[in-house]
Amino acid sequence: MRYTGGEALVQVLKKQGVKAIFSSPGTEWAPVWEALAKLHAAGDKEITYYNCRHEMLAMSAAIGYAEKSGELPAVLLHTSSGLLHAAMGIRGAYMEHVPVVICAGESIRFTEGEDAESGRGWQWLHSLSDVGGTTRMVAPYVKWSQAITSRETVCGTVARACQIARMAPHGPVFFSISKEYLQEEAEETMPQIPLPHTYTSPDPKDIEKIAALLVDSQNPIIITQKVGTNAEAVKKLVELAEALAIPVFESITQDAVNFPREHPLHAGFDVTQAIREADVVLAVAAITPWNSQRTAPRPEAKIIFIDDKAPYNRFPYWNYRADMILAVEPLQVLEALVERVKAKRIGASDRSKRFELWKGKHDQLLASWDNHIQKARLNKPIDPHCLCHTINEWLPPEAIVVEETITHKVSIHRFMRRVKPGNFVMGHAGGLGTGMGISLGVKIASPGQPVVNLVGDGSFNYNPVLSALGFSQEYHIPVLTIVFNNGAYKAMQSAHLRLYPEGWASRTQTYYGVDITPNPDYAQLAKSFDAYGEKVEDPGEIAHALGRAWEAMKHGKTALLDVILDPRDPR
């Protein structure tokens, strides 16, 4: 059958299971749009095209969609300029192992006089092509980067890109394609390249060794950071912790809900003291389990890392001591460990004492946090801990939370305890400015679940806000955005004061790169896109404002609450 390059690209993506294309429009993609229009006119609606108005929005929406749906999306970018706009999101997908197929246009020909109607050489003529091409620009932050070098290799290259993106460990891939190849027609058969399946299982000898260490230990601890991206793995982690009465800490950077926050064995987020006393440390999907500048395990302690991404070669420096590293998918290891541990005879009295010890610590920790709520619940400006507590009480049980704050992350993790494992998504993949797009992608993947995007006002300013609100309006994708507005880039000020607590900035109250002044009325932006917008300054109004936003969302409208917070750093 004869296909244009644009038709061939769409057909291969379809065969490879791609159901969503996110794009910020570029002139080179007309052959693809024509192919999609032809497909849809024939009644084939398997692939949905999302017009994103900004490259960062396209990339971040694809990340959110991939993370929540488990499916492979495609992103079309406008040559080098579009690629540069999306670069931070691409790096984020690379660091977070998110599979995305990314492609950018090129121009390889320039002709004079006789070929004006074809549009050949458009990018060349307008300085949109680069020496060496776009593949070298993105190569450090993708698994695979390739230029399509002929019309004959379009199908095979696109299929191979999809295959590599899905191979473990997952990650983004990139290919460039010229407009000329997209326009050209050729006779061809679609390649039959199967979707890859990776099967991994831990060595039974390693499982036996780890199980024996845990059973025989007097003071074991578990630390995790990302196991919560897989809800089934969390269930197995709970089983393992309960079987041996082992406390579970979430690491210094929590990227997911990794353990039920109200479980008696949830030991909080500060492992500084516990790791100095532990005799066995089990780090499960934890890249940075503790702050090695502040604390360290004792020399005789056994340290075990479990993660199919270990030893984290994407980081230039990773200096954690380890006695064992199992580079196997955590769910596989946890299932095997639970089975092996339960097969052993374990002293019930020892487990009972340890359980009661850590239950007592857990209860004290929660009581200390909740005590603050009682003291500050009516404070003006609004206390961020109280805001998180109120959101938690309102939050629908099936809600998905996307988090893109910095200074308020601690409050969110302490007080938003109703968020279930698998329903918490990190909204700053690779840097700030991706949260709104990620939340929209998550909503596309989970249309039946409410999505709540928590964003600091500094992060909000980095986001393509107008594009995101327009996207939500165009495709009727309602998301609730709550702006944690303390009027500043508070992380900047806190970092400055740690270095110069009595310096000139402190003495004169002159801080550079901190204040967001004058403070805009962000709620008005939402109203410009027929969304619900409200500024909240009274703590007693938070719950009512959430209710009004919820009503708007039920009618298909996006909502934005601009909550004015105490400007002090809550950490």
Find all residues with CB under 8 Å of 106, minimum gap 6, and list them.
Answer: 28, 79, 123, 129, 133, 134, 147, 176, 177, 178, 179
In angstroms, rounded to a whole number, what is the distance separating the alpha carbons of residues 452 and 546?
Answer: 11
Q: Could you tell me the residue range of the domain that residue 534 belongs to?
A: 377-564
Mean predicted lDDT score pLDDT of the chain: 91
Structure-block tokens of residue 167: 């191979």
pLDDT above 80: residue 508 = yes
DSSP per residue over 371-429, as a string? HHHHHHTT-SSBPHHHHHHHHHHH--TT-EEEEE-STTHHHHHHH-TTPPTTSEEES-S
**Same domain membership, residue 147 and residue 120:** yes
Q: Is residue 192 part of a domain?
A: no
Question: What is the reported pLDDT for 495?
Answer: 86
Find all residues with CB under 8 Å of 282, minimum gap 6, and list them.
Answer: 210, 214, 220, 221, 222, 223, 246, 304, 306
Question: What is the reported pLDDT for 180?
Answer: 84
The owner of tokens 């070669």 is 313
**Same domain membership, residue 215 and residue 254:** yes
**Same domain membership, residue 229 and residue 148:** no
**Where residue 313 falls among pLDDT bands split at 50, 70, 90?**
confident
**Where residue 311 falls among pLDDT bands split at 50, 70, 90?**
confident
**Same domain membership, residue 347 and residue 425:** no
Number of helices (H), then strands (E), in the chain: 22, 19
The owner of tokens 């967001």 is 516
**Same domain membership, residue 181 and residue 252:** no
Phi/psi for 286 (5° steps) reads -125, 105
Last residue of a domain, one of 312, 331, 361: 361
Bridging pattern class, strands 20-23 and 2-4: unpaired
Q: What percent of the chain has pLDDT over 70?
A: 94
Last residue of a domain, one of 187, 217, 245: 187
**Same domain membership, residue 351 and residue 222:** yes
Question: What is the reported pLDDT for 198?
Answer: 62
Q: Is residue 537 part of a domain?
A: yes
pLDDT above 90: residue 111 = no
Inter-residue contact 257 to 419 (CB < 8 Å): yes
**Same domain membership, residue 245 and residue 179:** no
Query: pLDDT digit string (tens) for 186-199?
Result: 888 877 776 666 65
pLDDT above 70: residue 317 = yes
- At 273, which CATH number? 3.40.50.1220
Q: Is residue 366 part of a domain?
A: no
Instruction: Please state which of the ranges 38-42, 191-195, 454-458, 563-567 shows the lowest mean pLDDT.
Output: 191-195
Query: pLDDT digit string (tens) for 391-418?
Result: 999 999 999 999 999 889 989 999 999 9
Q: Is residue 560 part of a domain?
A: yes
**Where residue 119 falls among pLDDT bands split at 50, 70, 90?**
low
**Same domain membership, residue 314 and residue 240:** yes
**Same domain membership, residue 455 and residue 388:** yes
In angstroms, rounded to a whole number, what is the distance separating the alpha carbons of residues 305 and 324?
Answer: 6
In angstroms, rounded to a whole number, what is the distance separating the alpha carbons of residues 65 and 446?
Answer: 9
pLDDT above 80: residue 130 = no
The owner of tokens 């831990």 is 202
pLDDT above 90: residue 169 = no
HEC string of 202-218 equals CCHHHHHHHHHHHHHCC
Q: What percent of the chain has pLDDT over 90?
A: 74
pLDDT above 80: residue 112 = no
Inter-residue contact 10 to 47 (CB < 8 Å): yes
Q: Is residue 194 part of a domain?
A: no
pLDDT above 60: residue 123 = no
The owner of tokens 């399509």 is 148
Burial class (CB in 10 A: 0-12, 13-18, 19+), 496: middle
Question: What is the reported pLDDT for 51?
Answer: 96
**Where residue 528 falls among pLDDT bands split at 50, 70, 90?**
very high
**Same domain membership, residue 346 and residue 419:** no
**Same domain membership, residue 450 and residue 309:** no
Find all residues with CB under 8 Å of 320, minimum gap 6, and list them.
Answer: 283, 289, 292, 303, 305
Q: Is residue 197 part of a domain?
A: no
pLDDT above 80: residue 322 = yes
Query: pLDDT digit string (tens) for 43-76?
Result: 999 999 999 999 999 999 999 999 999 999 999 9
Which helix (H) or strand (E) element contains residue 75?
strand 74-77
**How many domains in the chain?**
3
The owner of tokens 């302490």 is 414
**Where residue 532 falls among pLDDT bands split at 50, 70, 90?**
very high
The owner of tokens 């996207």 is 471
Q: Is residue 57 part of a domain?
A: yes
- At 419, which CATH number? 3.40.50.970
Find all residues with CB under 8 Å of 29, minimum gap 6, and list them.
Answer: 6, 23, 76, 78, 105, 182
pLDDT above 90: residue 80 = no
Phi/psi for 409 (5° steps) reads -60, -40
Torsion angle in degrees (nearest 10) through CA of 11, 16, 20, 25: -50
Name the amino acid, one letter, at 364: Q
Query: pLDDT digit string (tens) for 259-276?
Result: 999 999 999 999 999 999
Query: pLDDT digit string (tens) for 138-162?
Result: 999 999 999 998 899 999 999 999 9
Q: Is residue 148 part of a domain?
A: yes
Last residue of a domain, one of 304, 328, 361: 361
**Same domain membership, residue 533 and residue 403:** yes
Question: What is the reported pLDDT for 377?
Answer: 85
